[in-house]
């Protein structure tokens, strides 16, 4: 399946028997920016709860990937099967949906696409909407097959500072990356991991959708030309997935994510403010 699909494609394929539509909308960004709340959704959409269900609740860091067994069980409860064709969207155009795409990819299910432009573009195009998400469905048979190689941890990043086996791409804003703007988690200092490169996630988007393949290729070619493997990072593993997916769409296939991102790096390296 393609990494992204258009709203027109989804509208034409709503009746596909194996299609599962997931709504991964969030209320706000980590910076506290409130996202628009819609009182309507795409027909047959199911809520994919990134904050309360599909997350490791025992982790001290936000948005941490859940254990494969937890992910598998939660997917089955949503009625997701091994042969499900999944489309995921969110209420900000492109924000949290690429995180869901990466989660399924790392769990071994690549039959998933992000809805380009998300719910805002769906409504803008005038396609049919519903007032409620569907809540009742038969249990699925989804099986998680965790690809550990796509999950990069603190020790990987620490050793890479000397070994330089990969280049870390940071999706936070330029001001946070350069240590000028405050982090959303006010007890943490801003700044960057040594030898990392900054590609703010906003640079791969235009009007709530991904830029064209040619625009994305030019961006990555300028930023990371001649680099070897790429690994993606941000503040807490959310917006890194936006840039990771942009790379997959328009440049090269690099699917590895430093899930702990700057939050874990700053915490564990005691890069703390006096608050």
SS3 per-residue string spanning 180-214: CCCCCCCCECCCCCCCCEECCHHHHEECCEECCHH
Q: Which of 75, 234, 241, 247 is catalytic?
A: 234
**Nearest Cα to 170, choosing from 201, 139, 129, 144?**
201
Structure tokens at 194: 């040594």
In whole angstroms, give the CA distance from residue 162 to residue 216: 29
Is 234 a known active-site residue? yes
- Determine how β-strand 205-206 pairs with β-strand 209-210: antiparallel
CA distance 70 to 212: 36
Dihedral of the alpha carbons of 75, 80, 81, 86, in degrees to the nearest 10: -110
Closest CA to 218 of 202, 232, 234, 204: 204
Catalytic residue set? 234
């Amino acid at each position: 399946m393609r990494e992204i699909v258009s709203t027109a494609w989804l509208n034409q394929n709503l009746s596909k028997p194996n299609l599962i539509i997931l709504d991964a909308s969030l209320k706000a960004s980590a910076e506290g920016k409130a996202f628009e709340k819609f009182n309507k959704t795409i027909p047959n959409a199911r809520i994919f709860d990134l904050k309360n269900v599909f997350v490791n609740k025992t982790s001290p860091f936000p948005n941490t990937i859940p254990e494969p067994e937890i992910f598998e069980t939660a997917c089955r409860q949503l009625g997701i099967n091994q042969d499900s064709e999944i489309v995921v969207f969110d209420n900000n155009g492109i924000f949290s949906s690429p995180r869901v795409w990466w989660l399924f990819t790392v769990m071994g299910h690549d039959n998933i696409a992000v809805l380009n432009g998300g719910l805002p573009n769906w409504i803008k195009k005038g396609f049919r909407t519903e007032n409620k998400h569907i809540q009742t469905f038969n249990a699925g048979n989804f099986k998680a097959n965790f690809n550990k190689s796509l999950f990069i941890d603190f020790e990987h990043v620490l050793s890479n500072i000397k070994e330089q086996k990969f280049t870390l791409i940071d999706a936070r804003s330029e001001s946070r990356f350069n240590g000028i703007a405050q982090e959303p988690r006010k007890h943490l200092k801003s700044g960057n991991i040594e030898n990392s490169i900054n590609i703010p996630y906003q640079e791969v988007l235009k009007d709530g959708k991904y830029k064209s393949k040619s625009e994305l290729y030019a961006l990555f070619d300028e930023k990371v030309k001649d680099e070897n493997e790429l690994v993606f990072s941000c503040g807490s593993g959310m917006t890194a997935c936006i840039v990771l997916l942009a790379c997959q769409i328009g440049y090269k296939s690099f699917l590895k994510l430093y899930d702990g991102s700057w939050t874990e790096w700053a915490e564990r390296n005691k890069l703390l403010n006096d608050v």
